[in-house]
Amino acid sequence: MELTLDRKDALTELINIGYGRPAGALSELTGYRITLEVPQVAMYEIELIPAMLEAMLGPVVASVSQVFTGPVSGNALLLLDEQSALVLSQLLSEAGAEPRNFDSNAREIITEVGNILLNACLGVFGNLLRIQVNFAVPRMRLESSARLIEAVVDANEEKLTYGLIIHTKFKVKGGDVTGYLVIVLGVPSLDRLMSELDDWESRQLQ
Amino acid sequence: MDDSSLSRRTMREALEGLGQKVEEASDGNQALERFFLKPSSLVLLDMVTTGRHGLDVLAKLPEMDPTVKVIIATADIQSSTAEQARAAGAKGLLNKPINSDLLKASVTKMLSGGDTWN
């Protein structure tokens, strides 16, 4: 399954706009400049995704996942390698303690960062596409890519054979923290997203 | 009320900077219990938390004190969410990450009788 070039372009533009807001939010939280790479959009078979994530993030992934529902439903994820998650939690912790392990305070900080970034990103999509996106409580996990994707598949309302993976790499503090924002959608939601995207494009051209 | 200690800490520091006393709750039920025992003139409510949704808490608070003023503090930036909060009776909405200066200005305005929708 592939996206047409035109739709991929339109989606990339929407994501470019949508990912600017979380970058601003993260910069405000940490006090550091955030650099964003060009977003990548592609369809993948679900079983291929764990290996791809492992290549990007290593064997253990720190993730914040947030299920969203509405006309378009899916799962939004903030993904960090283990060390990046520890550094990010340290940047935002009250005591500024050395990052050694994921205690409850570190987990809570990463969860809230994920909540803010994922809401900012999907909220822009909701506003631009004029659809209401409803969010579930964010959940933080520290596990292998394979276990993470299993959990994403289980949590999704739609059967996930393919997933649209929209991801962008961001860097905080010149690269001490590197992470990805990923949105996983099933095929029915992807169809609806494309239809909403067409409407958005038409409004832009009016 | 916020399930994030990071957000509670940010809001506490800003409000104490205004000379206000602050009570914290980490979920909706705890917020309602604490408000019942010790009503506050102003409540800052997160929307999506475990247990009760923020808008549910917003509906219950005036039953205990009709004069209470509520500001929604949420990461959800959708215009439709702001409309929902306004229709449910919130006097204002702040998006996370909370900007301390904006929070202070909103609280000051609200405690002097205004709202922050316009």
- Per-residue pLDDT, averaged over B9-27, amounts to 95
Domain span at B31: 5-111
- What are the tokens at A173? 């503090």
What is the rounded CA–CA span in Å between residue B95 and residue B46? 10
Q: pTM for the full model?
A: 0.84
CB-based contact A133 B7, cutoff 8 Å: no
Residues of A in contact with B3 (CB under 8 A): 137
Interface of A with B in 156-175 (CB under 8 A): none
The β-bridge relationship of strands B69-74 and B92-95 is parallel
Each residue of A161-206: pLDDT tens digit? 877 777 788 888 777 888 898 888 888 888 888 888 888 888 877 7
Q: What is the pLDDT of residue A43?
A: 82
Q: Minimal Cα distance from A91: which residue of B?
A: B6
Cβ–Cβ of B75/A126 closer than 8 Å? no
Q: Is residue B116 part of a domain?
A: no
The alpha-carbon gap from B39 to the nearest alpha carbon of chain A, in Å, equals: 27
pLDDT at A170: 87
Closest of B46, B30, B48 to residue B38, by C-alpha: B30
Average pLDDT, chain A: 86
A residues 95..114 contacting B (CB < 8 A):
105, 108-109, 111-112
Which tens digits make up the pLDDT trace of B58-97?
Answer: 999 999 999 999 999 999 999 999 999 999 999 999 999 9
**CATH code of the domain in which B39 resides:** 3.40.50.2300
**Predicted local confidence at residue A204, as pLDDT:** 77
Q: Does A78 touch chain B (CB under 8 A)?
A: no
Rg (CA), chain B: 13
% of residues, chain A, pLDDT over 90: 31
Tally of domains in chain B: 1
Flag whether B117 is in a domain: no
CA distance A75 to A66: 6
Task: Report the gap between the CA of B105 and the closest CA in chain A (Å).
Answer: 18
- Residue with more model confidence, A75 or B51: A75
Half-sphere exposure of B61 (CA within 13 A, CB side): 30
Residue A2 confidence (pLDDT) = 63
Complex ipTM tops 0.85: no
Q: How far apart (Å, rounded) are the C-alpha atoms in residues A23 and A179?
A: 11
Give the nearest partner residue to A119 out of B4, B49, B76, using CB atoms: B76
Query: Looking at residues B9-24, what average pLDDT do you find?
Result: 95
Taking contacts as CB-CB distances below 8 angstroms, the residues of chain B near A135 are 48, 76
Q: Does B102 touch chain A (CB under 8 A)?
A: no
Assess if residue B61 is contained within a domain. Answer: yes
Higher pLDDT, B100 or A5: B100
Q: pLDDT tens digits, residue range A106-119?
A: 999 999 999 999 99
Tell me, yes or no, if A115 comes closer than 8 A to chain B by beta carbon.
Answer: yes
Residue B93 lies in a domain: yes
> Residue B37's pLDDT is what?
95
Question: Quick one: average pLDDT of A96-103?
Answer: 69
In a domain, B65, yes or no: yes
Residue A97: its pLDDT value, please? 59
Contacts of A106 in chain B (CB under 8 A): none
CA dihedral B95, B96, B98, B104 (to 10 degrees): 20
**Domain for residue B96, yes or no?**
yes
Q: Over 60: is that where the pLDDT of A99 sits? A: no
What mean pLDDT, rounded, does chain B reach?
A: 93
DSSP letter for each residue of A42-59 = EEEEGGGHHHHHHHHH-S
Q: Please indicate, yes or no, if residue B15 is contained in any of the structural domains.
A: yes
What's the gap in Å between the CA of A123 and the closest CA on chain B?
5
Cα distances from B56 to residues B48, B50, B77, B85, in angstroms, run 10, 12, 19, 11
Q: Is the pLDDT of residue A1 over 60?
A: no
pLDDT at residue number A95: 63
Q: Is residue B118 part of a domain?
A: no
